[in-house]
Every structure is written in structure tokens, then in C-alpha cells.
Copies of this chain bind each other. A is one copy, B any other.
């Protein structure tokens, strides 16, 4: 579904320790994380003495065949990964987990998120003779571990986790243990579960724990890592400099509705955000509420309930999408040919509609949907966005890293309303979002990372800093000045270029 929005997260990770069906369960866990990455997948597994792996391009079902999965069926431990690939990095060499065979040990490793100092680390490592085989940040982590002077693998890992910056989770497998680590702000989530047979699983989302019938045990918090081995489970901190700032976008957009992050169910959060939105920005004369499938359906039902309006299926999404891009040409599009979404004429004709969406990134999709509804005979279309204005790029693992792509970086809501052809347009407030999620942790933004809405980057900017400040739009600058909500990497207000 994420093709519609053009909003992509980088990957999902999974791990399991001590189950006779570890490879099959990893496959199933990854299948439930497939929404986090569809461009490649891999599994590395171990029988306690050696590691082996399989990986490939495309959806899990294409990336790993039955035959390949069967190669791994005798193993008891495994990690797995689904990858979203940014363009230009689509080769098999970037598919994770990476499996390294050293003279003294073997390691499988994969990560989710983005390291914001990877580029500078990489160059320094290369200058020191390191050879990289991919463009993946995961390799940087491995080089740091191998160049550590620490005597033990776990110490080398801790050391390396203190060097890398950004929003990330990392999963590692050796013949002796399964490791899972979370960045110092817990921007990216990682949960732990336990199966009936005592096997432990770790996963980017709890839906991958639930699908195995496993019991949720705990989240891994900011700056922590978990070690699971034959002696049991142990959670440690690799740094004390932590501030919880869980990515709000996980709740709004990325996570599956049945996942729970930090105690808050994603569907419930979205429904609540729809209700808050209805209170903040009601649509008084509307006949019905429609959600943009699939990620906005929960918010739309919340809006409908709070407004006492019927919730209707006015947009239908074709679940079958051509892998080989047989998209309508511009000429066909002008003749009215559509692809994935269809408006249902018999539902929307002559009606005043509230269209609930989770976010507006470029605005092009919203524009197309509004037009589609009007072409289908809708009378008025009132767009309600269940999150605040997406004004600032993200560098912590979301594939929107330049301001130019963000319509809200450059246009006001009124201008966007005109652009997309809506009859009205409102966003949920930052406060409304924070309330709807309801973490209530006593830190900035009550424990959320809302950098996309506020320009406040809890983990700093590092390699991206220079470029970021150089390219701020007038609207972004105005917002930052007005709100004074920005920090440099030491946590001080940054006034350099504004």
C-alpha cells in the first residue's frame, strides 16, 4: 500500500532463539512484517555450531523459496529481515541479514532504521583500509565491531553501539547468542516475546510475536540491548544518555494496526486520533466518512463515530498490483484510467464527504483522490488529516529526507487545500496527536519523536546537518523561529543559519 504515499520505512527485523522450527517461524514472523519492506528478505540461522543463510530480492515469497527455506530447517536459532530499498541500492548485495564467516567466529547481522553518521564513519574506515561490499549501514556496524579492541563480542558490540547515531534497531546472531539493540532514543521499536516452548523471539513489531502465538514480554527501551542465549534472557544498557522519543510515524503510518508499541495499540491510537480530529475540526454538513485504504481506515471509523456519521467504503483498493509496472500512461490517465484506488460512484454520488487520510506528503495522491471522488459525483470533499502538517524531513529511517518532497515545507494548509481541490482541509494538532497516542512519559513530547512536524531532531543530524540547514524553506524557517523548538547535537538551541 505504501506505493501510494511514497512514504517508506527502512525494514523490519526478527529473531528467534531455541525453537526446532526456527527458520519456518522466522519466515512467518517476517511475513507479518512484510509491510515494512517489500524489496528483499533474508534469514540467517544456526544450529549452535555454524551459521548459514538464504536471501533474495522481492517479496518474501519470491526472495526465499521452499527449497531454500528447507536448507535451514535443522536450525534452532535465526534472525531475519525484510528490506525497503531506496532507489539505486536495489542489488542483492544489500539484502540482509549479512552473514560473515571470520576465522574466529561467524556473525549474522541486520538492522532497521538509519544511521545518521554512517557516511563519515564509512569514509574513515575506508581510509583505514576497510572494504565495503554494499551501501548498507549494517556493514558499518560490523566493521566497528571487528575493529574494536574489546576482548568479548558483547563488549565490542556495546562499544560500537555507542559510536553509531540515529534511529535504529540491530539484530545479531552468533552461534552462542541472539542480540537485539535499540537506539538511545528508542525511535525504532523492538519487542520481545516468549513462546510456549520457552523460545524467545524479538521483532520490530508485536504483530510478529502474536502471529506465533507467543506472549509479549517487554519492549527494549532506549539505549538497551537484549542478549538471549541458552542461559536465558538478559537486558542491558549500553549508554545512560537516553531520552525516549518513539517515532510517532510508527503509530500514524508504518505499524500494523494490530501491533502495540510501548503499551499503545496502533489501531486504537489511530481511531482515537480520528476522534480527536473530529473534535478539533468537525465537518458539519457531511453525509459520510471515507478513509483512504488501508492505513487510514481506523482513523476514519474514529472520525465517523465521534461525528455520528456513517462510515462508508467510498474508495476501494485493488489488492492485486502488477509487480511488473504496467501502470497507465499519462495519456490513459487523462482518459480516466486509474490503477490501485477506485472511487465507488454509487456510494459517493451527490454526497458531501469527509475524506480521512493519515498524512499528506507530496500532495499528489490527495489531489488524485479528491479528483477521483469528484469525478465519481461527490458534492463536497472535506479532507481531514489524522496527523499534523508533515513539514520536516526525517533522517531516522523514513524515506523522506529532503524538504523539496514535502508539500507542507512550502505551502500553507490553505494553499494545499487549493492544490488538492478540497472543499476544506484540516490537520490534527501536535498536541492532539500526542494526546491520542497517550504515552505520557515525562520527557519532551511525552516520549514521542515528532521531528517531521516540529523540526526537533532528538538524535541530532550529524552527516545531514550541513545540507539540512542550507536547504530550509522560508516556511520551515518561520516555523522554527516561531516555535524555538530545535536543538543542535549537544542539545542546545541551534541558531547557526537561521
Given A28-B339, A65-B324, also A258-B316 (CB < 8 A): yes
With an 8 A cutoff between CB atoms, is A69 at the interface?
Answer: yes
Residue interface bits A397-424, CB-to-B below 8 A is 1, else 0: 0000000000000000000000000000
Candidates B31, B92, B132; contact of A320 at CB < 8 Å? B31
Q: Are B265 and A322 in contact (CB under 8 A)?
A: no
Q: List 14 A-B contacts (CB under 8 A).
A: A24-B329, A25-B332, A66-B326, A102-B126, A102-B131, A103-B123, A104-B126, A129-B147, A130-B131, A211-B342, A213-B336, A267-B312, A267-B344, A267-B347
Q: How far is the CA of A126 from the CA of B130 in the complex (A)?
A: 11
Q: How far is the CA of A322 from the CA of B34 in the complex (A)?
A: 11
Residue interface bits A78-122, CB-to-B below 8 A is 1, else 0: 000000000000001000000011111000000000000000001
- Residues on B with beta carbons closer than 8 Å to the beta carbon of A35: 319-320
Given A213-B336, A267-B313, also A322-B27 (CB < 8 A): yes
Q: How far is the CA of A213 from the CA of B336 in the complex (A)?
A: 4
Q: 7 nearest interchain CB pairs?
A: A213-B336, A265-B346, A34-B320, A129-B147, A258-B316, A258-B344, A61-B323
With an 8 A cutoff between CB atoms, is A192 at the interface?
Answer: no
Q: How far is the CA of A66 from the CA of B104 in the complex (A)?
A: 39
Taking Cβ atoms with an 8 Å cutoff, the residues of A that contact B are 1, 21, 24-25, 27-28, 31-32, 34-35, 38, 59-62, 65-66, 69, 92, 100-104, 122-123, 126-127, 129-133, 135, 139, 142-143, 146-147, 195-197, 207, 210-214, 256-258, 260, 265, 267-268, 271, 294, 297-298, 301, 305, 310-313, 316, 318-326, 328-329, 332, 335-339, 342-347
Q: Are B61 and A324 in contact (CB under 8 A)?
A: yes
How many copies of this protein are present in the complex? 4
Q: Are B142 and A256 in contact (CB under 8 A)?
A: no
Contacts A25-B337, A60-B320, A103-B123 given; 12 further ones with Cβ under 8 A? A21-B329, A69-B326, A102-B126, A103-B122, A130-B131, A131-B139, A195-B335, A207-B342, A210-B342, A258-B344, A305-B311, A311-B311
Q: How far is the CB of A362 from chain B (nearest CB, A)?
A: 23
- Residues on B with beta carbons closer than 8 Å to the beta carbon of A196: 335-336
Q: How far is the CB of A83 from chain B (nearest CB, A)?
A: 14
Given A147-B129, A320-B60, also A347-B211 (CB < 8 A): no
* CB-based nearest B residue for A256: B316
Q: How far is the CB of A375 from chain B (nearest CB, A)?
A: 8
Q: Are A336 and B146 in contact (CB under 8 A)?
A: no
